[in-house]
Structure 1
Amino acid sequence: MTTTSSPKQPPRPSLPMIAATTATLPAVMLSSLALAQPAGADTRPSAIPATLAAAMEAQAAAAKAGVIPAASVPAAIPAGLQPARVTPSSHRVVRGDTVSGIAHRYGLSTSAVLRLNNLKVNSVIYPGQKLKLKGASAPAPRQAAVTAAAASTGAKTYTVKSGDTLGGIAARHGVKLSQVLGWNRLSLSSIIYPGQKIRIGAGAATSPAPATPAPTAASRSYTIKSGDTLSGIAARHGVRLADVLSANRLKVTSIIYPGNKLVIPGKSTAPSPVQPASSVTPLVPSSFLGFTYPAAVVSSANKNKALLNASPVPSLAQMKSIVADTARRMGVDPALALAFAYQESGFNQRAVSPANAIGTMQVIPSSGEWASDLVGRKLNLLDPYDNATAGVAIIRQLIRTSKNLDHAIAGYYQGQYSVSKYGMYSDTKTYVAAIKAHRKNFA
């Protein structure tokens, strides 16, 4: 939905977060053997016959010899005694599965599973699809190093859940994606899996800071702050970007981290014009079709666009299939749902408008809250399946509550309340005609 004129829904109560814990291995408990002498009525010490004393000493020695020292009892079951993990020859994909999650479940390398099934990092898998597992190798251990690094620096860790992306994790914790990548020695193409520990926070970066030469008399030091860019730092200090890169042995593509120090060389005699960070063209413009949107809305739209750009999304053909399948499951004409998806975004899940209309169905966050109420669960508009569900749920509700199909279609574009009060605007009538034409093509 590319308009904010839809009826405002009451705020939804926050949903409780459910944490899952893993079962621990049973502990092995060994008790020491001890001999106790029954207490007699007479508390006076009495002499023990030599033969009985000898017998007691022999019995105690035998008991002690049979006790296993506590230090030699392992805290966990030895690998050789653990039950073998049986890997099936294939796995049938279910809702919520990811390739990395499937690989982790069976102790396999994600890259090996991808290669075995001729998939890429950004390939989308679907419920019912069969993935081959036989022949895939186990991953090289590395997670312990991440957890140990986090513990040594005091940084907190986040346990990856099904559906998580690196960009989403960064946004949830209020940090930059580049910081998360640096803290965990990951790249944009890295694959994460449910159960994996991701380091978050203010410890020293796991990636070594770039080597910086000692400042000279004409140079000075600058501590990087959150939001800084190399070009912005150069412009602020009146020096050329090339000089900053050269002084710090960096490249234009180098990633910088808050807290690291940069050498700022002496001012250049003829600095070249550098575009300040604030004037860089945003991912999402502030105006569309003659309308200019509030800065806060456009800022949110740019953040969502950046997250979608950093995440794998379905191809146009795959997204088309997702929309059609969702419509069938929810009792809506697939051709009508496809017409909306094609008109709104051309099946592009990375589409974000200046009004912060997100994804294939171009649903704004407030309408996403309404759609969440309609289906009875929290929907994530950045998720392709949830985005399709939100759009189809709104279409279904508009059809149920509008006097005819034309008004239902108009409500998706102009807002149901606006249509009922003011009628259809001229551009709304054009939108309705386009949707009906697309529906015939998809029928």
Structure 2
Amino acid sequence: MPIIAATTAALPAVMLSSLALAQPATALPAVQSQKIPASLTAAMRAQAAAVSANVIPASAVAATIPAAMQPMAPAAPATYTIVRGDTISGIAARYGLNTNTVLQLNGLSGNTIIYPGQQIKLTGSAPAPSAPAPAPSPASGPASSSTASYTVVPGDTLGGIAARHGVALSDVFNWNGLNGRSIIYPGQKIKVGPGTNAPAPATPAPAALVPASAPAAPAAPALANTGSYTIKSGDTLGGIASRLGVSLSSLLSANKLSMSTIIYPGQRLAIPGAPAASAPAPAPVSAPLVPSTFLGYTYPEAVVSSANANKALLNASPVPSTAQMKGIVADTARRMGVDPSLAMAFAFQESGFNQRAVSPANAIGTMQVIPSSGEWASQLVGRKLNILDPYDNVTAGVAIIRALVNTSKDLNTAIAGYYQGQYSVSKHGMYDDTKAYVASILALKKNFS
């Protein structure tokens, strides 16, 4: 009896259950008839054979989904209006189109920024590339620049223009005195074929600089006798050199500049080769894009200089409209768990939803984020943010609002921290202008709710 008890106690519960239900006469032979593998290798082989016996042969499985069962892609409309979150590749995939085809159809490149509300074409044919201007015959003189030039429209890039006209991007650079960092603007004329004539300027030259009765005979290059040139919005150093008939290297040398130097509207350039005697008397310096003082405080020269450079870049770049920026702010706030009405109140108070706004303190864009705060916001979201980019600018502002709300004792203190700085508020309390700022944000929040 003790031996039997020890044997049954060693059996698993599931085995005891099976033995209890089986008839004594059949249970023992069933157990004895099982063939136990002689080794672990033999057991693994037996198991593999049992599994493979239940596998459907590959030849019996269809390699592709039958055409009748495949989902149909929706028919592509002639035009499509961009909504928040869209990408060109995503739109192309949705309608079963090729991404490169959609890009070429709209004259876009892979790095072109698209905005909600923008319309793109999904059907049709891409514009045929313009034929290069024929080489001038000795009798006919230089080819007209109108046969080998293109007028820039919103959304254009130099790479897209070159591809559309079937020419190399390097040739476009050479023909126009441009480079990979040059900024182009709507209305600007770009050479897309070889020729001797420079593209016509986007805006007419000032009457005082170009004589009304300019003779057809060879003369000094236009504007060269002034000895200086005032930069306008959209200008590039290469374009200025080409337009004034001087070499880019001599223009850079005369002004102690380099190819990486940022220029801005209102800046004056010395024109090389102009007679010293004819140079005009020094003119008063044009008003900068961003002043150096605000509310009685004068900012350091380096900060104001950086603010002017950023303002010039934003002025020369396409940005979303006010209505589009409202949508971007509200959508970003919802996605990041911030009350949209609060984020919109900050955006309206700071800039009026204007991405081109830059303050003397170098606070940039819709949310008026200074570069150091942009670095902090980058750490908050876990990626590098470019606060000149409208989407990243809003992301930075909303990330800062979220951090202030989460670490302040109440909403009013969080709002004050955005304006005065969280540490300053905790140490000194709210200044009078900070209290007015908080009251304004709370009132705007109600309006946007």
Give the TM-score normalised by structure 1: 0.53
Aligned equivalent of 2:221: 248
Q: State the Cα distance separating 1:321 from its structure 2 match.
A: 1.0
Q: CA deviation at 1:107?
A: 5.4
Q: 2:277 aligns with which of 267, 277, 299?
A: 267
- Native 8 Å contact 1:361 1:388 kept in 2: yes
Residues 293 and 207 (structure 1), Cα distance of their counterparts in 2 relative to 1, 3 Å cut: farther
Q: Is the 8 A contact 2:354 2:366 kept in 1?
A: yes
- Residue equivalent to 1:161: none
Task: Specify whether residues 259 and 362 from structure 1 end up closer, same or farther in structure 2 by C-alpha distance, changes over 3 A only.
Answer: same
Task: State whether structure 2 residue 407 is matched by structure 1 residue 401.
Answer: yes
Q: Which of 110, 121, 124 is the equivalent residue of 1:135?
A: 124
Residue 241 of structure 1 contacts residue 274 of structure 1 at CA under 8 Å; is this kept in 2?
no
CA distance in 1, matches of 2:326, 2:392: 14
Aligned partner of 2:71 in structure 1 is none
Q: Which of 377, 380, 384 in structure 2 is aligned with 1:378?
A: 384
Letter in 1 for 2:283: Q
1:241 shift after superposition: 6.1
C-alpha distance in 1, partners of 2:289/2:195?
Answer: 28
Matches within 5 A, 1:333-372: 333-372=339-378
2:104 maps to what in 1? 108
Partners of 2:280 and 2:170 in 1: CA distance: 45
Q: 5+ residue gaps in structure 1?
A: 1-86, 114-120, 159-169, 171-179, 192-205, 212-229, 232-239
Structure 1 residue 125: Cα displacement: 2.7
In the alignment, which residue of structure 1 is the partner of 2:5?
none
User: What SS does structure 2 have at the residue aligned with 1:347?
Assistant: coil
2:324 is aligned with 1:318: yes
Structure 2: gaps spanning 5 or more residues:
1-74, 93-98, 131-161, 200-204, 242-247, 252-271
The equivalences for 1:173-188 within 5 A come to 180=182, 187-188=185-186
Contact 2:88–2:103 (CA under 8 A) maintained in structure 1? no
Determine whether 1:284 maps to 2:273.
Answer: no
1:420 is aligned to 2:426: yes
Whole-Å Cα distance in 2 between the matches of residues 139 and 438 of structure 1? 51
SS in 1 for 2:240: coil
Shift of the alpha carbon at 1:131? 4.6
Distance in 1, matches of 2:276 and 2:210, equals 13
The residue type paired with residue 429 of structure 1 is K
Distance 1:207 1:434 in 2: 59
395-404 or 139-148, larger mean C-alpha shift: 139-148
Q: Deviations over 1:86-130 (max 9, x none)?
A: x9556776747369x9774535332599xxxxxxx998336xx88
The residue number in structure 2 matching 1:97 is 87
Say if 1:98 and 1:125, in contact at 8 Å, map to a contact too. no
Give the equivalent residue in structure 1 for 2:171: 149
Q: Which moved more, 1:141-150 or 1:419-428?
A: 141-150
**Which residue number corresponds to residue 55 of structure 1?**
none
Higher relative CO (Cα under 8 Å, sequence separation at least 6) belongs to 1
AA in 2 matched with 1:259: S
Distance apart, 1:395 and its partner CA = 0.4
Alignment CA distance shift 1:139-1:298 (3 Å): farther
Tell me the distance in 2 between the aligned counterparts of 1:309 and 1:130: 23
Which of 336-345 and 257-266 deviates more?
257-266
Alignment partners' CA distance in 2, 1:314 and 1:151 = 28
Q: 1:152 to 1:250 in 2, by over 3 A?
A: closer
Match of 1:308 in 2: 314
Partner residue of 2:115 out of 124, 129, 143: 124
Residue 187 of structure 1: CA displacement?
Answer: 4.5
Give the letter aligned to residue 135 of structure 1. G
Is the CA contact (8 Å cut-off) linking 1:104 and 1:110 kept in structure 2? no
% identical aligned pairs:
53
- Distance in 1 (CA, whole Å) between partners of 2:394 and 2:305 is 24
Displacement of 1:394: 0.4
Matches within 5 A, 1:196-211: none
From the superposition, tell whether residues 210 and 138 of structure 1 become closer, same or farther in structure 2 (CA, over 3 Å).
closer
Give the TM-score normalised by structure 2: 0.53
Do the aligned partners of 1:349 and 1:384 also contact (CA within 8 Å) in 2?
yes
Once the 2 structures are TM-superposed, how far is the Cα of residue 134 of structure 1 from its aligned partner? 1.2
> In structure 2, what is the Cα distance between the partners aligned to 1:286 and 1:260?
32
Distance 1:242 1:266 in 2: 19
- On the 8 A contact 2:83/2:116 being kept in 1, the answer is yes
Structure 1 residues 217-232: aligned runs within 5 Å: none
Tell me: CA distance 1:148–1:334, structure 2 relative to 1, closer, same or farther (3 Å).
closer
Structure 1 residues 400 and 146, CA, compared in 2 at 3 Å: closer, same or farther? same
Distance (Å, rounded) in 2 between the aligned partners of 1:339 and 1:151: 44
Whole-Å Cα distance in 2 between the matches of residues 375 and 189 of structure 1? 38
Is the contact between residue 84 and residue 115 of structure 2 (CA under 8 Å) also seen in structure 1?
Answer: no
What is the letter of the counterpart of residue 171 of structure 2?
Answer: A
Letter in 2 for 1:149: D
The 1:291/1:208 distance shift into structure 2, 3 A limit, reads farther
3-state DSSP of counterpart to 1:108: helix
- Secondary structure of the residue aligned to 1:145 is coil
Aligned length: 278
For residues 311-339 of structure 1, the C-alpha deviation after alignment (integer angstroms, 9 at most, x for no partner) is 11111111111101111111111111111
1:405 Cα deviation from its structure 2 partner? 0.6
